[in-house]
Amino acid sequence: MRTSSTELRDLGLAWIALSVAFVLLLFRNALFSGEVVVVATLFGMCALTAGVAFLLHELAHKVVAQHFGQIAEFRADYQMLGLAILSAMVGFLFAAPGAVYHRGNITPKQNGLIAIAGPVTNLVLAGVFFALFVVAPGDGLLSTVASLGVWINAFLAGFNMIPFGPLDGKTVKDWNLGVFAVAFAVMGGLAALVLFTDVVPIAF
Protein backbone atom coordinates (compact mmCIF):
# COMPACT_ATOMS: atom_id res chain seq x y z
CA MET A 1 0.00 0.00 0.00
CA ARG A 2 1.62 3.22 -1.18
CA THR A 3 1.62 6.31 1.06
CA SER A 4 3.50 9.58 1.63
CA SER A 5 4.68 11.77 4.49
CA THR A 6 1.89 14.26 3.69
CA GLU A 7 -0.75 11.55 3.96
CA LEU A 8 0.68 10.26 7.24
CA ARG A 9 0.73 13.80 8.64
CA ASP A 10 -2.88 14.42 7.64
CA LEU A 11 -4.03 11.08 9.03
CA GLY A 12 -2.32 11.87 12.33
CA LEU A 13 -3.82 15.37 12.61
CA ALA A 14 -7.29 14.13 11.73
CA TRP A 15 -6.94 11.30 14.28
CA ILE A 16 -6.06 13.76 17.06
CA ALA A 17 -8.81 16.21 16.11
CA LEU A 18 -11.48 13.50 16.00
CA SER A 19 -10.32 12.11 19.34
CA VAL A 20 -10.68 15.56 20.92
CA ALA A 21 -14.08 15.99 19.28
CA PHE A 22 -15.41 12.69 20.65
CA VAL A 23 -14.15 13.52 24.15
CA LEU A 24 -15.98 16.86 23.97
CA LEU A 25 -19.13 15.22 22.65
CA LEU A 26 -19.36 12.27 25.03
CA PHE A 27 -17.52 13.31 28.18
CA ARG A 28 -17.82 17.08 28.28
CA ASN A 29 -18.85 17.17 31.96
CA ALA A 30 -15.98 14.93 33.05
CA LEU A 31 -13.48 17.27 31.42
CA PHE A 32 -14.23 19.88 34.07
CA SER A 33 -13.40 17.52 36.92
CA GLY A 34 -9.88 18.91 37.05
CA GLU A 35 -8.44 15.42 37.42
CA VAL A 36 -5.57 14.95 35.00
CA VAL A 37 -5.77 11.15 35.15
CA VAL A 38 -9.47 11.19 34.24
CA VAL A 39 -8.96 13.56 31.31
CA ALA A 40 -5.96 11.58 30.05
CA THR A 41 -7.91 8.31 30.31
CA LEU A 42 -10.86 9.74 28.41
CA PHE A 43 -8.62 11.04 25.64
CA GLY A 44 -6.77 7.73 25.48
CA MET A 45 -10.00 5.76 25.12
CA CYS A 46 -11.32 8.05 22.40
CA ALA A 47 -7.96 8.06 20.62
CA LEU A 48 -7.93 4.26 20.61
CA THR A 49 -11.52 3.70 19.50
CA ALA A 50 -11.94 6.72 17.22
CA GLY A 51 -8.46 6.13 15.86
CA VAL A 52 -9.22 2.54 14.86
CA ALA A 53 -12.62 3.56 13.44
CA PHE A 54 -11.27 6.53 11.46
CA LEU A 55 -8.03 5.00 10.22
CA LEU A 56 -9.56 1.73 9.04
CA HIS A 57 -12.46 3.61 7.42
CA GLU A 58 -10.09 5.74 5.36
CA LEU A 59 -7.70 2.88 4.63
CA ALA A 60 -10.63 0.83 3.34
CA HIS A 61 -11.35 3.58 0.81
CA LYS A 62 -7.67 3.70 -0.13
CA VAL A 63 -7.16 -0.06 -0.47
CA VAL A 64 -10.24 -0.53 -2.65
CA ALA A 65 -9.30 2.47 -4.79
CA GLN A 66 -5.80 1.11 -5.30
CA HIS A 67 -7.29 -2.30 -6.07
CA PHE A 68 -9.05 -0.64 -8.99
CA GLY A 69 -5.77 0.89 -10.18
CA GLN A 70 -6.32 4.34 -8.71
CA ILE A 71 -3.72 6.71 -7.30
CA ALA A 72 -5.25 7.32 -3.86
CA GLU A 73 -4.25 9.27 -0.75
CA PHE A 74 -6.01 10.76 2.26
CA ARG A 75 -6.02 14.52 2.70
CA ALA A 76 -7.33 16.26 5.79
CA ASP A 77 -9.73 19.18 5.50
CA TYR A 78 -8.55 21.56 8.20
CA GLN A 79 -11.71 23.66 8.17
CA MET A 80 -13.78 20.51 8.68
CA LEU A 81 -11.49 19.40 11.51
CA GLY A 82 -12.20 22.72 13.22
CA LEU A 83 -15.92 22.28 12.57
CA ALA A 84 -15.81 18.80 14.11
CA ILE A 85 -14.40 20.17 17.35
CA LEU A 86 -16.72 23.19 17.44
CA SER A 87 -19.82 21.12 16.66
CA ALA A 88 -18.88 18.61 19.38
CA MET A 89 -18.73 21.45 21.89
CA VAL A 90 -22.40 22.25 21.24
CA GLY A 91 -23.58 18.63 21.33
CA PHE A 92 -23.38 17.36 17.75
CA LEU A 93 -20.41 16.02 15.85
CA PHE A 94 -20.08 16.68 12.12
CA ALA A 95 -17.40 14.11 11.38
CA ALA A 96 -16.00 14.79 7.92
CA PRO A 97 -12.29 15.29 8.64
CA GLY A 98 -11.14 14.82 5.07
CA ALA A 99 -11.26 12.24 2.32
CA VAL A 100 -9.29 9.76 0.27
CA TYR A 101 -8.82 11.45 -3.08
CA HIS A 102 -8.23 9.16 -6.03
CA ARG A 103 -7.70 9.60 -9.72
CA GLY A 104 -7.57 7.41 -12.78
CA ASN A 105 -10.07 5.74 -15.08
CA ILE A 106 -12.97 4.37 -13.06
CA THR A 107 -16.54 3.18 -13.53
CA PRO A 108 -19.52 4.37 -11.46
CA LYS A 109 -19.70 0.91 -9.85
CA GLN A 110 -16.05 1.00 -8.82
CA ASN A 111 -16.50 4.51 -7.44
CA GLY A 112 -19.51 3.32 -5.46
CA LEU A 113 -17.60 0.34 -4.07
CA ILE A 114 -14.76 2.62 -3.00
CA ALA A 115 -17.26 4.85 -1.19
CA ILE A 116 -19.15 2.09 0.61
CA ALA A 117 -15.96 0.35 1.77
CA GLY A 118 -15.50 2.88 4.60
CA PRO A 119 -18.94 2.59 6.23
CA VAL A 120 -18.92 -1.21 5.80
CA THR A 121 -15.61 -1.29 7.68
CA ASN A 122 -17.19 0.67 10.55
CA LEU A 123 -20.13 -1.72 10.52
CA VAL A 124 -17.77 -4.68 10.92
CA LEU A 125 -15.82 -2.91 13.65
CA ALA A 126 -19.05 -2.17 15.53
CA GLY A 127 -19.71 -5.91 15.51
CA VAL A 128 -16.20 -6.67 16.77
CA PHE A 129 -16.46 -4.15 19.60
CA PHE A 130 -19.96 -5.43 20.48
CA ALA A 131 -18.59 -8.97 20.81
CA LEU A 132 -15.90 -7.57 23.12
CA PHE A 133 -18.57 -5.69 25.08
CA VAL A 134 -20.57 -8.90 25.59
CA VAL A 135 -17.61 -10.84 26.98
CA ALA A 136 -16.00 -7.96 28.91
CA PRO A 137 -16.38 -8.38 32.68
CA GLY A 138 -18.63 -5.97 34.57
CA ASP A 139 -18.45 -2.26 33.87
CA GLY A 140 -14.69 -1.80 34.02
CA LEU A 141 -12.31 -0.10 31.62
CA LEU A 142 -12.42 -2.86 28.98
CA SER A 143 -16.22 -2.78 28.93
CA THR A 144 -16.18 1.02 28.60
CA VAL A 145 -13.70 0.90 25.72
CA ALA A 146 -15.78 -1.78 23.99
CA SER A 147 -19.03 0.17 24.36
CA LEU A 148 -17.28 3.31 23.13
CA GLY A 149 -16.01 1.37 20.11
CA VAL A 150 -19.55 0.24 19.28
CA TRP A 151 -20.92 3.76 19.68
CA ILE A 152 -18.27 5.49 17.57
CA ASN A 153 -18.32 2.93 14.75
CA ALA A 154 -22.12 2.84 14.62
CA PHE A 155 -22.15 6.64 14.49
CA LEU A 156 -19.55 6.83 11.71
CA ALA A 157 -21.24 4.13 9.63
CA GLY A 158 -24.65 5.79 9.83
CA PHE A 159 -23.36 9.35 9.48
CA ASN A 160 -21.30 8.58 6.39
CA MET A 161 -24.26 6.96 4.63
CA ILE A 162 -26.19 10.25 4.66
CA PRO A 163 -26.61 11.14 0.94
CA PHE A 164 -25.26 14.65 1.28
CA GLY A 165 -22.27 16.62 0.02
CA PRO A 166 -18.93 14.85 0.41
CA LEU A 167 -20.29 11.96 2.47
CA ASP A 168 -20.08 8.39 1.18
CA GLY A 169 -23.84 7.95 1.02
CA LYS A 170 -24.20 10.39 -1.87
CA THR A 171 -21.65 8.54 -4.01
CA VAL A 172 -23.29 5.19 -3.25
CA LYS A 173 -26.76 6.58 -4.02
CA ASP A 174 -25.56 8.01 -7.33
CA TRP A 175 -24.13 4.59 -8.25
CA ASN A 176 -26.94 2.25 -7.18
CA LEU A 177 -30.14 3.31 -5.42
CA GLY A 178 -30.92 -0.25 -4.29
CA VAL A 179 -27.53 -0.77 -2.66
CA PHE A 180 -27.80 2.64 -1.03
CA ALA A 181 -31.28 1.90 0.35
CA VAL A 182 -30.17 -1.37 1.97
CA ALA A 183 -26.93 0.10 3.33
CA PHE A 184 -28.66 3.22 4.64
CA ALA A 185 -31.38 1.15 6.35
CA VAL A 186 -28.88 -1.20 8.01
CA MET A 187 -26.28 1.38 9.04
CA GLY A 188 -28.74 4.15 9.84
CA GLY A 189 -30.83 1.71 11.85
CA LEU A 190 -27.79 0.52 13.79
CA ALA A 191 -26.71 4.09 14.49
CA ALA A 192 -30.18 5.01 15.75
CA LEU A 193 -30.32 1.90 17.94
CA VAL A 194 -26.94 2.54 19.54
CA LEU A 195 -27.15 6.33 19.81
CA PHE A 196 -30.69 6.66 21.13
CA THR A 197 -31.08 3.61 23.36
CA ASP A 198 -29.12 2.05 26.20
CA VAL A 199 -28.46 -1.22 24.35
CA VAL A 200 -24.74 -0.41 24.66
CA PRO A 201 -24.49 2.19 27.45
CA ILE A 202 -21.45 4.42 27.84
CA ALA A 203 -20.70 5.28 31.43
CA PHE A 204 -17.57 6.77 32.94
Question: Active-site residue numbers?
Answer: 58
What CA–CA distance (Å, rounded) separates 152 from 156? 6
| Residues 76 and 38 sit within 8 Å (Cβ to Cβ) | no
What does residue 202 show for φ and ψ, rounded to 5 degrees? Answer: -110, 120
Q: Which residues contact 122 (CB under 8 A, 6 or more apart)?
A: 53, 56, 57, 153, 154, 156, 157, 160, 187
Packing angle of the helix pair 78-89, 5-26 (nearest 10 deg):
10
Q: Which residues contact 56 (CB under 8 A, 6 or more apart)?
A: 121, 122, 125
What CA–CA distance (Å, rounded) separates 11 from 27? 24
**For 36, which DSSP code?**
H
**3-state DSSP: the chain helix, strand, coil percent, rounded to 5?**
70, 5, 25
Q: How far is CA 46 from the centre of its chain?
A: 11
